[in-house]
Chains A and B, each alone.
Chain A
Amino acid sequence: TVGCVVVDTQGRCAAATSTGGLMNKMTGRIGDSPIIGAGTYASELCGVSCTGEGEAILRSTLARDVAAVMEYKGLGLQEAVDFVVKKRLDEGQAGLIAVSNKGEVAYGFNCNGMFRGCATEDGFMEVGIWE
């Protein structure tokens, strides 16, 4: 699975996710990536793209939950990401990337590594795999 989240200079957020799914999956199997609110979500507040164990991401509507805890609990972006990765996945394994309309970027994962890269206009840039 691959994904990208962006907030532009107008403060508009967007998210996109694309995947081949699971190796040796049954034909017709649909995972979390195309399900809006599970693998992908974007609102005025943030943009989120998830990857990992599709069934856990679906059950927890993981991407929408980041936006929801920002909206209703007033959490900041990284707090929201940490909260949903820690509290919403039960024993599922997943990771996600997110941006906010304030120009912040965040990511979190509870499994072994995640291929990710992030950058902000003030010059921050990071590419990583492990914790």
Chain B
Amino acid sequence: MGGWAIAVHGGAGVDPNLPLERQEEAKALLTRCLNLGISALRSSLPAIDVVELVVRELETDPLFNSGRGSALTEKGTVEMEASIMDGHGRRCGAVSGITKVKNPVSLARLVMDRSPHSYLAFSGAEEFAKQQGVEMAENDYFITEDNVGMLKLAKEAKAILFDYRIPLAESTCGAAAESPIQMNGLPISVYAPE
């Protein structure tokens, strides 16, 4: 038997022009989340509780695309989704279309622990959230200035745009315009690789 181990991520597909201060901000958040998980593991918390604890922290911080700071739909709203799985017994829970629950990963955990199902979505999931008494917030709690700007860019480009957390629009468009990479047969500039 080995010891404990932990890994976290904040999304793949990063703008090569990411400003240094943004890079440092991201690294600081990842380090904080790692340390949160490490101290939980040192207190012998089970793996399933540690992953929920760490993802809640990442959802609450607006830096990455989840929870507060989520990418916006074409209507400028937030629709979040999350899942959680316990390798011990292979139990799992998932939610989609969440608009008012502060920590979607904890709702996914409740689907796993307190419902007969593995996956609840949209109004059913929000109904379940109310029954379970999880912390709710109005949709605008999840919306950040950065993302309103990014959505504007995406609409001007009539595309689903990169979601790099970068305020420098020209570099993002530049990257989008230059890049010859295809995704699903479409130019990468059409997608936001999260």
Kindly report which residue of chain B lies nearest to residue A9, judged by CB atoms.
Answer: B4
Contacts of A103 in B (CB 8 A): 1-5
Q: Is the CB of B9 within 8 A of A95?
A: yes
Which of A22, A105, A116 is B163 in contact with, Cβ under 8 Å? A22
Name, among A24, A49, A129, the residue most crowded by chain B CB atoms within 10 Å (CB to CB): A24
Which residues of chain B from 37 to 68 have any CB-CB distance to chain A below 8 Å in the complex?
A: 37-38, 41, 44-48, 50-52, 54-55, 58-59, 64-67
> Chain A interface (Cβ within 8 Å of chain B)?
1-31, 33-36, 39-47, 49, 51-56, 91-107, 109, 111-122, 125, 127-130
Q: Is the CB of A14 within 8 A of B85?
A: yes
Which of A19, A54, A116, A117 is B82 in contact with, Cβ under 8 Å? A19
Q: Is the CB of A114 within 8 A of B12?
A: yes
Q: Is the CB of A2 within 8 A of B9?
A: yes
Q: Compute how far the CA of A30 lies from the CA of B150 in the bound complex, rounded to whole angstroms.
A: 20
A11-B1, A14-B85, A93-B183 known; A114 vs B105 contact (CB < 8 Å) = no
Q: Is the CB of A20 within 8 A of B70?
A: yes
Contacts of A39 in B (CB 8 A): 83
Interface string of B7-38 (1 = CB under 8 A from A): 11111111110100001001100110110011
